[in-house]
C-alpha cells in the first residue's frame, strides 16, 4: 500500500465501515494489480469507492449525442452550484459514464468528515445543488426540461418536507412536528408512509411552505447559473469530451471560481424514470 | 441468416435481451422455413417481433364491418399524428388484424435507438399520438366516440400525471414531486397506489394541470387531423382493404407528408374494455 | 341434430365456448329426449341456454298476484324500451317464471354477433333498457317504485360511471381517466375498489355528470313509454297470463312497432334485494 | 299431529326450511308432550318458532318495575303502529318476557306469505313500526327516551339508507346507486363496509335525504300515536299484567281499530345496548 | 357463613356469575380467616369484590402529599356529585389507597339491582359523576387541572357519543344512528373502530352536539360543587386522613345532604396516563 | 458497598426494578473494581445508570468543533430552562460526550420521587425544557436552527397534543377526548395510530390549540433565555471544555440562579435525524 493512503478519510467520507470498507480495499488492490501498479494508491481506492457505490462503468450503453449533452449540462449544473454555494460538501468528480446501477451520470461530493447535525442553511444549499441540474437544463434548453431531473426533484421535495414538518424550520408552520411515521408499524415492510394527524388547513400551509422554500432556492440557483455562465459553458463541453472530470480539472475550469473547498453529495442521473412505452 | 440482419437494431428497438431475443430469432427461423425461404430475413424477424409482443394473429375473430371501420379510423388517426408531430418514434406498421392478446388492431412504432431521457416536448408528442385514435373517431363520426379509446386515455392520463407530479413540468404545480409510491411497501404485490401526502388544494391544482395539458394536446391533435384530412381518407379505407400497412405504404399514402423519419409506440385496440353484459 | 341448428350463432350470442358450449348441447339433447323429439332442435338449444345462464325454473316459488304484476310491468318496460331504441340487442324472450339463481323474471336479449366496441350511443341505449323496468313501474304505479329495480340501477350506475371516468364520454370531465383500479393489488381477492387519485372538486364533477346523463336517459325512457302506452298495456297482462313471451309474440303485441330487429341483454329481477327482516 | 297444522304457513312465515323446520317440529312435539297434549297443535308450533328464533324465556331475569313499564310502552308502541299503518305484516304476539338471546321484550309480526319485492310505501311502513317504540316512549315519558330504542334506530337507519342509495327512492339523490359494498373483498370476514365512491357533496345530499325521510315518518308515527291514545293506554298496562298478548287480545284491545289484517317483523328489545359501567 | 350474607345482591351489583362469583366467595373466606373471624361476613364479601375488581391494595406505592391531595379532591368530587344528582347508583366507598391494577384511588358505586335500560337523564347523571372529579380539581386548584382526569374524560366522551350517534338523544342529529362498528370485521382483534358512513357536515353536527351536551353537564356539575362547598371541604381532608371512607361516613359528612339512596359506578384514578419522560 | 448507597432512590428516579436494577448494580460493581475502589459508591451507581440508559460513551466519534458548539449550546439551553422554570425535575448532569445509542449529548434530570399525576403547569414546564435547546440555538445563531432539535420538537408536539386531546387542558377544545388509539387493534404490532373520529373543523381547532400553546411556551422560553444570558454564556463554553457538568457545577455556574431544587428529564441529541445523503 502506498504510504499516503488515508483509510480513515475514506471511511469518514463514505460512512462505510467493516465489511464494506474491506470490500473497497480488495477492489482497490485488484485495480492496482490490473493497472500494473506496485502499490495500492489513493486513485485506486477512489475508483474502488465509485465502483462499490455506483456499480461498474457501462460504456457499452450507447446514449444518443443529444442525451449525452443533456446529462453533461445537468451534471455541470450540479457542479457549478456545488462550487458556488457556501455549505456544499467538496466536489470530487463529475462523470457522464453510465453505471450499472442505472446512473446516466453522476456528481460525486465527499464530505471532509462525518456530519451529525445540519443547519437550515446547509439543508438549503443541499437542495440548491439538487436543483442545479434541472435549472441548468432550463437555461440551456430554453425551458424544455427532461425526465432526467425526477430523482433530484424527489430528493429535494423530501428534504424540504423534513425542514417544514420535522425540523421546525418554517415560521408559518411553527416548531411542531406534523405526521407520524408508520414505519415498522405494519406487518413487515419498511413502511415509510406517514399518518396524517393534522387538519386539511395545516396540510395547505405545509404545501405552501414546501413550495415557497423550493421556489426561493430555485430562484437563487437560477441567479447563480445566470450570473456565471462561463463555468457552465466550459465544464459541459469538456465533460462531453473527457466524460469524467476530477476535482482539480473542475476547479481550473471554474476560473474565477472561489477556489475554496466546497461540500456535497452524490447526484446520479438514472434512466429508470422514462415512462415505459407499451 | 441473411447478411443484412441487424440483431442489434432489433434489440435496441424492442428493449429485449437474452432469452426473449433468442425466442424472437427462433420464431423468425420457423417463419422463414414455413415460407420456404432459405435465409432468415429482416421481414421474418419483424414478423417474429410482432408475434412475441402481440401474440398470434386471430383472423378467426370476426369483427362487424362497422367495428372494422372504427378500428381502421382509430389506427389511421394514430398513424397520421405519428407522421405529423416532431418527436414521435418512426412508424413501422399499422394493422387491424386482431391478435390473441386481445388487440383489435395496433400501430407499431419502433425507436431508432434506446432512449434514456425524454423532454417535455417528446412526452407531449407521445400523448398526442395516443390521443390521435380517439380524435380521429370524433372527427369521422361527428363526436360519437366508442369504448375503444379507453386504453389510450388511461396511458395518456398516466403520462400527463407523471409530467405534473414527477417531472416538474407544470409551472402552477412547481418543481416538487407529489405523492409517494407505496409499491412494494405492502405485503406482497406490485402495489402501484400512491400515498396522497398533499392537501386537497394541491390535488385540485394537479387535476387542473392534468386537464389543461391534455386539452391543449387534444386541440393540437384535432388541428393536425383537420388540416390534413386527405391522409386519413386514404389510409383508413386502404387499411380496411389490406388489413395491414407497412411503413413504405404509409409514407406513400401520406403524399404531401414530411417524408422525414418519425417516431412512436405500439398502440393496441383491446376488446376487454367493453362493459360486460350481464 | 336438426339441420337448421346454428351452433356458431349460439356461441356468438352467449359468448360461451368449449366446455360451457358442450354443456348446453348436452342439456339440449336431454330436453329433446324428454319432450320425445327425434332431433335436437333450435328451441331445445335456446331453452338449454336459458337453463345454463339462469338456472332451473322455480315454478314452486309462489309470488303474490301483486308481485307478479309488478314483475310483469317491469319486464314489459324493459321489452318496450328494447324494441324502441336504436342500438339495443334483439329481444328474444320475456318471462316472469322465477329461476333458481334468484331471478323473479327476466328479459333475454341476444346479440346478433360478438361485439368488441361500443359507441356512446350504444351505451346510452343499454342504460335506457336497464331503466325501462323502473320507469314502467313509476308510470304504472303513480311513482310508487319497488326494490325490484335495485339490480338495474346498480348496473346503469356502473355503466354511466365507466362512460364518464374510463371512456372520456363526458365533456365537463374530459378525455382523461379517473380512479385507478386496485383489483389484484391486495393479497387475494378480486378487489374491485378504485384508488381515488383525484380531488374532491373532480369527484363532484364526476357525480354531476353521472347524474346528468342518467337523468337525460331516464327522461327519454319516460317519453318512450308515455308516447306508446299501448304496447305496455298489451304485453304486461299477456305476460301475467302466459308467463313467458317469445320474440314473435312480442313483435306482434307491439303492433305499430318498428318491426326492425333490435338489440339487448339479460335483465333479471332478483329477490335478494329485499331488506332482510330481523 | 292435529289436523289443522299448517306447516307450509309456518315455513312461509319464518322463511325456514329443511333442518330448521324439522327442529321447530321436534320442539313443538316436546312442548305438546310437556303440556300433556295428545297432539302437536298450532300453539305448540308457534311457541316452538318463538323458542328457536328468540331462545328460551328467561323469567329469572328480574327487571325493575320502571324498566318493565318502559319495555311495555315500547312494545305497545310497535303494536299500535303495526295495527295502524297500511303495509305492516300481521301482528302475532307482543311480549315483555325476556329471552335468552338478550331480548327484553318483542313484537312478533308474521307475514302471510313470502315476499320478494317491497314498495317504497311498504318500506316506509316498516320504518314506521320500528320507530313506534321510541315515539311511544317520547309521548309517554315527556321526551325522556331510553337506550332501549338503539336497535330499532339502527335498523330504521339501515332501511332508509338502502331506500336512498340502493333503490333510487329519493328524488334529490336520483335513480343511481351510491357506495360499493366491499363484502367478501377483503381476506376473510363478512365485511359490510362500503367504498365511498362519491363526492362529499353527494354524501351531504344522502345524509339530508336519510334525515328528511326518517323525520317525515317519525312525524307520521307521532300523529298515529297521538290521535289514538286509547290503544296505547289499554295495551301497555295489560302487557305489564299478562306479560304476553296474543293477536286476538291485541285486536280486541284496539277497539275502534281497523280490524283488518296488518303486517310486520320481530322487534326485540335487547339489553346489550346499555353502556357498560366500568 | 354469616346468615345475613346476600350473594344474590353481590351478583346483581357486580354482574358477576359462576367462576367469578366463586372466586369472590373464596377470597372472602380467606379474608375472614385472616382477620380471625368465625364467619364470612358481608364486609369480607365486599372487600373481596374490591380485590377482584381492583386488584390488591398497594400501600407500598408512595404518592407525594400533593398527589394524595389531588386524588382526594378528585374522588371527593365524584362522591359529592354522586350524592347530589338524582339518577346516580348508590355510593358505596371512596378510597385513595392505590391498587395493583393501576388505580390511584377510586369511587365505588354499586347499583341496587341489575339495569337493562338507561334513560337520557340517567346517562347525563352518569356523565355528571364522571366529570365531578375534574370539576372539583378546577375549583380547588383555580383551574389548574391534572392528567388524572383523562380516564374520566374518555369515558364521558364515549357515553355522550353513544347518546348522540346510537340512542337518538340529540335533536339536531335526529333519530338515526351514525357510524357502523367494524368490530370483528377485520381479521382478528376486537376492533372498535367505526366506519364513517356520513358526510363531513354531519360529522360537524355530531361534534357540536357532543360538545354542547358535555358543556351543559359540566356547567351543572360546577354549580353543584359551588353551591355545596362544605361537603367537599369535609370529605377531602377526611379522605386524606383515613384513606378510605365507607358509605355511612360519607353520608354523615354530607350533613345537609339529601340522605336518599343514590346511584353510581366505579371511578378509578389511574397513573398510566402520565406522559412518559424521555 | 458504601453505606451511603441509596438503592431506593435509584429505583424511584429511574423507574427501574428487578433485573434492570440488578444489572445496574453489577455494572456499578465493575466500575468500582475498574477504578480500583474498595466500595461501590454513589458515583459508580450513577455512572452505571447512565451506561444502561444511554449506552457506552463513544469518545471515538469525532464531532466537528462547530457541531460540538451546537450541541453545547443546545444542552445548555435545556439546562438553563430546567433551572429556571418552577416545575422541572432536578437537573443532574449535562454532557456532550456521544453515547452508543445515538446520542450527541444529553441533559439528565432525575425526579426526586415517582410521579403519578402531572398538572397542566408541570406539563407546560416539561415542554419548556424540551424547547430550551432549540431556542438557545435560535438566540445564539441568529435564528439559524439545526436538525438537532427534531427529537425535542417531536416530544413537545406529542405532549401538547395529549394536553389538548387527552387531558382536556384546552378551553376551545373542551373537556372531551378526541381520537381513539388503534394500538393493538391490528394484527400484531404496537400500532400507535389514532382513529380520527372527529370532524375536519375540530381537527382545525386542535391544530390551532397545539400551535397556540407551543407558541406561548416558546415565547416564555425565549424570555427566560434572553433575560438571563449569563448562565448560557458560562455553561456552554464550560461544557465544551469539560464535556460533562455535574449538578453542583451547574448550580455554581448559574450564579444568581434560584438555587432551589429543579426538575426534569433526559434530553438526548441524536444523530439519526440528519437527512441521509444519497
CB-CB contact of A6 with A42 (8 Å) = yes
CB-CB contact of D117 with D253 (8 Å) = no
Give me the DSSP letters along E112-176.
Answer: SS-----BHHHHHHHHHHHHHHHHHHHHHTTT--BGGGHHHHHHHHHHHHHHHHTS---TTT-SS
pLDDT surpasses 50 at F242: yes
Burial class (CB within 10 angstroms; exposed 0-12, middle 13-18, buried 19+) of F59: exposed
Is B192 within 8 Å of C185 when comparing Cβ atoms?
Answer: yes
Q: Mean of the per-residue pLDDT values for chain B?
A: 79
Q: How far is CA F154 from the centre of its chain?
A: 12
Residue E149: its pLDDT value, please? 87
The predicted model gives F94-112 an average pLDDT of 75
* Per-residue cell: E225: 360543587
Residue C188: its pLDDT value, please? 35
Band (pLDDT 50/70/90 cuts) for residue A266 is low
* Per-residue cell: E232: 367537599
Across A14-18, C269-273, F118-122, least confident range = C269-273
Band (pLDDT 50/70/90 cuts) for residue A59 is low
Residue C51: its pLDDT value, please? 72
The predicted model gives E9-32 an average pLDDT of 75
Closest CA to E250 of E129, E13, E91, E96: E91
pLDDT surpasses 70 at C165: yes
Band (pLDDT 50/70/90 cuts) for residue C35 is confident
Measured distance CA(B20)–CA(B49) in Å, rounded:
10
The predicted model gives E197-213 an average pLDDT of 96
Cβ of D50: how many Cβ atoms within 10 Å? 23
pLDDT surpasses 90 at A77: yes
CB pairs < 8 Å spanning B and C: 124
State residue E92 phi and psi, 5-degree precision: -110, -45
Residue D201: its chain C contacts at CB < 8 A? 204, 207
Between D196 and A128, name the one with better pLDDT: A128
The predicted model gives F156-168 an average pLDDT of 93
Min Cα–Cα distance to chain D from E198, Å: 6
Helices B200-227 and C200-227, axial angle in degrees (round to 10)? 60
The phi-psi region of residue E171 (left if phi > 0; otherwise alpha if psi is between -120 and 50; otherwise beta) is alpha
- Minimum CA–CA partner of F275 in chain A: A159
Closest CA to D271 of E137, F258, E117, C278: E117
pLDDT per position as a tens digit, C230-256: 888 899 999 999 988 988 888 888 755
CB-CB contact of B192 with C180 (8 Å) = yes
Band (pLDDT 50/70/90 cuts) for residue F265 is very low
Across B52-61, B194-203, C58-67, E249-258, least confident range = B52-61
Between B128 and F109, name the one with better pLDDT: B128
| ipTM above threshold 0.95 | no
CB-CB contact of C180 with B158 (8 Å) = no
- Mean pLDDT: which of A267-271, C51-55, D268-272 is highest? C51-55
Residue B225: its pLDDT value, please? 95
* Per-residue cell: B175: 418543481
HSE (side-chain half, CA atoms, 13 Å) at E129: 30
Measured distance CA(E221)–CA(E152) in Å, rounded:
14
The predicted model gives E145-166 an average pLDDT of 91
* Alpha-carbon torsion, ordered A21, A22, A28, A33, to 10 deg: 180
Catalytic residues of E: 75
* Alpha-carbon torsion, ordered C235, C238, C244, C247, to 10 deg: -50
Instruction: List E89's β-bridge partners, or say none.
Output: E263
pLDDT surpasses 50 at A243: yes
Give me the DSSP letters along A36-82.
Answer: T-SS--HHHHHHHHHHHHH--B-TTS---HHHHHHHHHHHHHHHHHH
Residue C183: its pLDDT value, please? 45
Residue E263: its pLDDT value, please? 34
Give the closest of B150, B204, B215 to C201, CB-based. B204
Give me the DSSP letters along B261-276.
Answer: --B--EEEEESTTSPP
Closest CA to A200 of D258, D148, F201: F201
State residue D38 phi and psi, 5-degree precision: -95, -20
Radius of gyration (Cα) for chain B, nearest Å? 20
How far apart, in Å, are the Cα atoms of D108 and each of C103, C277, D76?
Answer: 29, 11, 12
D32: three-class secondary structure by DSSP: helix
Is C211 within 8 Å of D174 when comparing Cβ atoms?
Answer: yes
The predicted model gives A246-268 an average pLDDT of 60
Closest CA to B96 of B81, B108, B110, B106: B106
Q: Which long-range contacts (CB under 8 A, 24 or more apart) does E26-31 make?
A: E27/E51, E27/E52
Q: Is the dihedral of CA A184, A186, A189, A194 positive or negative?
A: negative
Measured distance CA(E244)–CA(E93) in Å, rounded:
7
CB-CB contact of A42 with A25 (8 Å) = no
pLDDT per position as a tens digit, B189-246: 333 456 678 999 999 999 999 999 999 999 999 999 999 888 888 999 999 999 889 8
Residue matched to cell numbers 470490500: A23
pLDDT surpasses 90 at E218: yes
CB pairs < 8 Å spanning E and F: 126
Is F101 near chain A, with CB under 8 Å? no
Measured distance CA(A157)–CA(C90) in Å, rounded:
58
F94: three-class secondary structure by DSSP: strand
Band (pLDDT 50/70/90 cuts) for residue A123 is very high
Min Cα–Cα distance to chain A from F1, Å: 40
Between C111 and B265, name the one with better pLDDT: C111
The predicted model gives A217-224 an average pLDDT of 97
Q: How far is CA E6 from the centre of its chain?
A: 24
* Per-residue cell: F138: 435560535
Within 8 A by CB and 6+ apart from A270, the residues are: A102, A103, A104, A151
Q: Which long-range contacts (CB under 8 A, 24 or more apart) does C6-9 make?
A: C6/C42, C7/C45
State residue C81 phi and psi, 5-degree precision: -65, -45
Is F62 within 8 Å of A175 when comparing Cβ atoms?
Answer: no
pLDDT per position as a tens digit, E118-143: 899 999 999 999 999 999 999 999 98
Write down which chains contact chain D via at least 3 CB pairs under 8 A. Answer: C, E
pLDDT surpasses 90 at E229: no
Measured distance CA(A73)–CA(A80) in Å, rounded:
10
Between D33 and A102, name the one with better pLDDT: D33
Band (pLDDT 50/70/90 cuts) for residue E3 is low
Residue C12: its pLDDT value, please? 62
The predicted model gives A82-105 an average pLDDT of 82
Band (pLDDT 50/70/90 cuts) for residue B183 is very low
Write down which chains contact chain E via at least 3 CB pairs under 8 A. Answer: D, F
Residue D187: its chain E contacts at CB < 8 A? 187
Residue A97: its pLDDT value, please? 83
CB-CB contact of C128 with C85 (8 Å) = yes
Residue D150: its pLDDT value, please? 87
Between E183 and D40, name the one with better pLDDT: D40
Catalytic residues of F: 75
pLDDT per position as a tens digit, D3-20: 666 676 676 666 666 777
pLDDT surpasses 70 at C257: no
How far apart, in Å, are the Cα atoms of D138 and each of D131, D132, D160, E168, E210?
Answer: 11, 10, 21, 11, 21
Across A22-26, A127-131, B30-34, least confident range = A22-26
The phi-psi region of residue C168 (left if phi > 0; otherwise alpha if psi is between -120 and 50; otherwise beta) is left
pLDDT surpasses 80 at B10: no
Between A254 and E154, name the one with better pLDDT: E154
- Mean pLDDT: which of B19-33, C13-27, E167-181 is highest? E167-181
Q: Which long-range contacts (CB under 8 A, 24 or more apart) does E203-207 make?
A: E203/F198, E203/F199, E203/F200, E204/F199, E204/F200, E204/F201, E204/F202, E205/E172, E205/E173, E206/E161, E206/E164, E206/E165, E206/E173, E206/E178, E206/F199, E207/F198, E207/F199, E207/F201, E207/F202
Q: How far is CA F160 from the centre of its chain?
A: 15
Min Cα–Cα distance to chain C from D187, Å: 7
Q: A207-232 burial, b if ≥16 CB within 10 A, otherwise e? A: bbbbbebbeebbebbbebbeebeebb
CB-CB contact of E76 with E148 (8 Å) = no
Q: Which residue numbers in chain D have pLDDT < 50? A: 183-192, 257-278
pLDDT surpasses 80 at C141: yes
The predicted model gives F15-33 an average pLDDT of 79
Residue C117: its pLDDT value, please? 86
Residue F271: its pLDDT value, please? 40
Measured distance CA(B56)–CA(B75) in Å, rounded:
19
Residue D265: its chain C contacts at CB < 8 A? 277-278
E strands, C83-155, in order: 91-95, 103-109
CB-CB contact of B191 with B158 (8 Å) = no
Measured distance CA(E106)–CA(B260) in Å, rounded:
89
The interface residues of chain A toward chain B in range 181-220, judged by CB-CB distance below 8 A, are 186-194, 196, 200, 203-204, 206-207, 210-211, 214-215, 218
The predicted model gives A222-243 an average pLDDT of 90
Across C82-96, C189-203, D174-188, F251-265, least confident range = F251-265
Residue C260: its pLDDT value, please? 34
F199: three-class secondary structure by DSSP: coil
Between B148 and B10, name the one with better pLDDT: B148
Residue A203: its chain F contacts at CB < 8 A? none
Amino acid at each position: 500500500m502506498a504510504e499516503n493512503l488515508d483509510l480513515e478519510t475514506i471511511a469518514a467520507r463514505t460512512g462505510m465501515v467493516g465489511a464494506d470498507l474491506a470490500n473497497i480495499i480488495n477492489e482497490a488492490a485488484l485495480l492496482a494489480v490490473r493497472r500494473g501498479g506496485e502499490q495500492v494508491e489513493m486513485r485506486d481506492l477512489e475508483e474502488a469507492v465509485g465502483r462499490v457505490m455506483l456499480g461498474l462503468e457501462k460504456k457499452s450503453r450507447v446514449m444518443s449525442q443529444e442525451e449525452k449533452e443533456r446529462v453533461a449540462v445537468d451534471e455541470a449544473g450540479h457542479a457549478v452550484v456545488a462550487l458556488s454555494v457556501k455549505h456544499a460538501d467538496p466536489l470530487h468528480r463529475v462523470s457522464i459514464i453510465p453505471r450499472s446501477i442505472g446512473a446516466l451520470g453522476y456528481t460525486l461530493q465527499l464530505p471532509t468528515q462525518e456530519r451529525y447535525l445540519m443547519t437550515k442553511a446547509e439543508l438549503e444549499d443541499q437542495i440548491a445543488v439538487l436543483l442545479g441540474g434541472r435549472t441548468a437544463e432550463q437555461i440551456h434548453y430554453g425551458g424544455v426540461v427532461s425526465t432526467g431531473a425526477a430523482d433530484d426533484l424527489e430528493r429535494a421535495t423530501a428534504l424540504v418536507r423534513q425542514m417544514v414538518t420535522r425540523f421546525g424550520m418554517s415560521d408559518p408552520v411553527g416548531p411542531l412536528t406534523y405526521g407520524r411515521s408508520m414505519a415498522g408499524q405494519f406487518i413487515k415492510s419498511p413502511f415509510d408512509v406517514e399518518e396524517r394527524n393534522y387538519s386539511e388547513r395545516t396540510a395547505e400551509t405545509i404545501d405552501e411552505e414546501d413550495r415557497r422554500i423550493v421556489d426561493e432556492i430555485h430562484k437563487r440557483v437560477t441567479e447563480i447559473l445566470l450570473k456565471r455562465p462561463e463555468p457552465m459553458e466550459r465544464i459541459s463541453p469538456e465533460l462531453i469530451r473527457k466524460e469524467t472530470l476530477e476535482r482539480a480539472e473542475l476547479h481550473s475550469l471554474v476560473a474565477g471560481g472561489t477556489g475554496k473547498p466546497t461540500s456535497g453529495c452524490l447526484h446520479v442521473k438514472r434512466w429508470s424514470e422514462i415512462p415505459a412505452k407499451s
